[in-house]
Amino acid sequence: MNDQNSNSLSASLMQGQEQADAHQQDVSRDLKRQSKEGYSATDDEPQKHDGNLCEHDDGIHIKPLLKDVGETLTSEDIEQHKHWMKHALMLADKAESIGEVPVGACVVLNGELIGEGYNTPITDNDPSAHAELLAVKEAALRVQNYRLIDATLYVTLEPCSMCAGMLVHARVKRVVFGAKDAKTGAAGSVMNLLQHPALNHQVEIVSGILADDCANKLSDFFRKRRKEIKAAKKAKKLIESGESD
């Protein structure tokens, strides 16, 4: 590769990284606002659902399938959801420890953990290495079936369209998530692929479980990363100014 092509590739990569960082900053601002206002992915759903949206305590919402209209969460259900969401948050910490965006996910079947994962797209150079996808892969291997009938996936951040499509293919029964993603969320924020009427499987959605904890973890991560980037730029300028002297 000649110098001109090499410089062009480097410039393209830098531009792509800057765009990605800008998007992550937008997400971080949305998460801060979410944490302050205490809303979840189903808060913005229109009233036309006519009872298909049931509100519960502490900002937790359940959006069941049409056939299950009127279903409610018991206190026992909520405690169980919180238990597994705490596990997903622990997995998110593992992602953060290797420099990844802190998102964790786990799959539970009949009260048993069968799969878990956390973000590793940067580490693995794999844009598909999202927490949900890795957790479902592990769960499918565990049960030796590509269908995860009656399983529940817990994830700290609302699934994107890629993960939502995968969850539909896996026939997951329920998705429980903490923080809303107003930019790429595909469980009610930007779109709702998990319950799209044209698809051959719809997934029950429960949102707002430990939403503040999930949102704050992401906001804190991006805040820290912005400080690190700013410090690195400042150090670079000092070095460059010293060399020019």
**Residues annotated catalytic, as ranges:** 132
* CA contacts within 13 A on the Cβ side of 25: 10
* CA contacts within 13 A on the Cβ side of 15: 6
CA-to-CA distance for 148 and 146, rounded, in angstroms? Answer: 6
The number of angstroms, rounded, from the C-alpha of 230 to the middle of its chain's C-alpha atoms is: 26
